[in-house]
């Protein structure tokens, strides 16, 4: 029985840890300011924005830690290193978005039932500060968020918080000039619904990677069909395809041969399998078990 691994390396943009640190410090400052302002003014929307900002701080810290750990080398006890650290961070960050949303909406419904007067001037100034701080942080992380799930989760936290601050600012202006105090909890509910909308897709995507699901863009039957066109190959079965992280897709399969080929001949076939897997399907790691005349099921998918 022979096994082989192939590794196609990708060069991805270096994540900007410095930008994350700047965003963390900015969000800590705005969180403290909004908590104090929310208590003084009596604004639930401002306190909700502060809570969301605090979740931003936690998510950014998690993203920063994951980014640092991902760079650590593999070892005998951690043969994959920490390559899944960023996927874990994305999962936790997106889950916290949903939890924060539920908490916000629960408090908002209670405030709608029992409305309270609010000091709108404080709300206006602090929400404007929140827009400026989160807007700057969004610009810092925008580039990295385009190609990294972990950074995207942190970026989404900041984007939704910036939009929440915009909503709070509008609410503060309406309360100041028109005394429409019910707008405060109503905006909070709207912010919560938006958080759920933004967080769900990312939670689903990170869950699929953690559960070792086959990437949606890859069709197992198509891979089997392509690999089976290689002349010495009789069939391809017992297939597993999964993502280690965002950039590495692994293929493991049993390949049954028509003839009892030599190891040298198998190496040539393996090279062809690796090239087809990579160029047709973007699979960067291949692990093949060669077989000949083995009485075994030829089912494509086998429950181990």
- Write out the DSSP string of 246-261: SS-EEEEEEEEESS--
Regarding whether 236 and 169 lie in a shared domain, the answer is no
Rg, Å, the chain Cα set: 26
Residue where a domain terminates, one of 186, 210, 234: 210
Regarding whether 224 and 132 lie in a shared domain, the answer is no
Instruction: Please give the Cα distance from 194 to 108 (Å, whole number).
Output: 14
Q: What local confidence, expressed as pLDDT, does residue 254 receive?
A: 94
Percent of the chain with pLDDT over 70: 93
Regarding whether 132 and 84 lie in a shared domain, the answer is yes
Q: What local confidence, expressed as pLDDT, does residue 21 receive?
A: 83
The answer to the question of residue 108 being in a domain is: yes
CB 100 within 8 A of CB 55: yes
> pLDDT tens digits for 95-147?
887 887 888 788 788 878 877 777 889 889 998 998 998 899 889 888 878 77
User: Mean pLDDT, the chain, as a whole number?
Assistant: 84
Domain hosting residue 129, numbered range: 7-210
CB 10 within 8 A of CB 244: no
Q: What local confidence, expressed as pLDDT, does residue 99 receive?
A: 86
> pLDDT tens digits for 226-268?
999 999 999 999 999 999 887 799 999 999 999 999 999 999 9
Q: What local confidence, expressed as pLDDT, does residue 296 receive?
A: 65
CB 181 within 8 A of CB 43: no
* Global pTM exceeds 0.85: no
**Neighbouring residues of 29: CB distance < 8 A, sequence distance ≥ 6:** 133
Residue where a domain terminates, one of 179, 210, 241: 210
pLDDT band at residue 304 under the 50/70/90 scheme = low
Regarding whether 203 and 140 lie in a shared domain, the answer is yes
Regarding whether 127 and 33 lie in a shared domain, the answer is yes
Instruction: Please give the Cα distance from 110 to 272 (Å, whole number).
Output: 64
Q: What local confidence, expressed as pLDDT, does residue 12 receive?
A: 42
Regarding whether 194 and 218 lie in a shared domain, the answer is no
- In three-state secondary structure terms, 298 is coil
pLDDT band at residue 303 under the 50/70/90 scheme = confident
For residues 78-103, average pLDDT:
84
> pLDDT tens digits for 191-211?
788 778 878 888 998 999 999
Give the DSSP H or E segment for 287. Answer: strand 285-291
**Beta partners for 254?**
237, 289
Q: What local confidence, expressed as pLDDT, does residue 237 receive?
A: 93
Q: What is the number of structural domains in the chain?
A: 2
Handedness of CA 171, 112, 186, 167 (dihedral sign): positive
DSSP codes joined into one string, 188-256: HHHHHHHHHHHHHHHHHHHHHHHTTPPPTT--HHHHHHHHTTSTTEEEEEEEEEEESSSS-EEEEEEEE
Residue where a domain terminates, one of 191, 210, 229: 210
> pLDDT tens digits for 46-58?
777 787 777 778 7
Least confident of 14-23, 191-200, 266-275: 14-23
For residues 151-157, average pLDDT:
80
Instruction: Please give the Cα distance from 163 to 97 (Å, whole number).
Output: 14
Q: Which two tokens mark 242?
A: 């999964």
């Amino acid at each position: 029985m022979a096994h082989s691994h192939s590794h196609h390396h990708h060069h991805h943009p270096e994540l900007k840890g410095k930008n994350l640190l700047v965003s963390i410090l900015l969000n800590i400052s705005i969180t403290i300011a909004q908590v104090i302002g929310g208590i003084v003014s009596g604004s639930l929307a401002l306190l909700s924005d502060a809570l969301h900002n605090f979740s931003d701080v936690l998510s950014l810290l998690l993203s920063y830690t994951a980014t640092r750990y991902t760079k650590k080398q593999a070892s005998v006890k951690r043969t994959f290193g920490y390559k899944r650290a960023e996927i874990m961070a994305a999962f936790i960050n997106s889950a916290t978005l949903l939890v924060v949303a539920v908490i916000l909406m629960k408090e908002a419904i209670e405030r709608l039932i029992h409305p309270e007067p609010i000091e709108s001037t404080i709300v206006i100034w602090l929400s404007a500060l929140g827009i400026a701080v989160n807007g700057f942080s969004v610009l810092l992380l925008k580039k990295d968020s385009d190609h990294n799930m972990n950074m995207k989760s942190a970026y989404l936290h900041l984007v939704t918080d910036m939009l929440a601050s915009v909503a709070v600012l509008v609410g503060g202006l309406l309360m100041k000039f028109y005394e429409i105090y019910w707008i405060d909890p109503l905006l909070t509910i709207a912010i919560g619904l938006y958080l759920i909308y933004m967080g769900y897709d990312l939670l689903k995507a990170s869950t699929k990677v953690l559960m070792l699901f086959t990437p949606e863009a890859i069709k197992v039957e198509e891979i089997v069909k392509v690999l089976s066109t290689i002349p010495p190959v009789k069939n391809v079965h017992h297939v597993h395809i999964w993502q280690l992280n965002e950039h590495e897709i692994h293929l493991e399969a049993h390949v049954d041969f028509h003839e009892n080929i030599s190891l040298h001949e198998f190496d040539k076939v393996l090279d062809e399998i690796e090239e087809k897997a990579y160029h047709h399907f973007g699979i960067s790691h291949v692990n093949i078990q060669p077989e000949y005349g083995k009485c075994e099921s030829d089912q494509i998918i086998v429950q181990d």
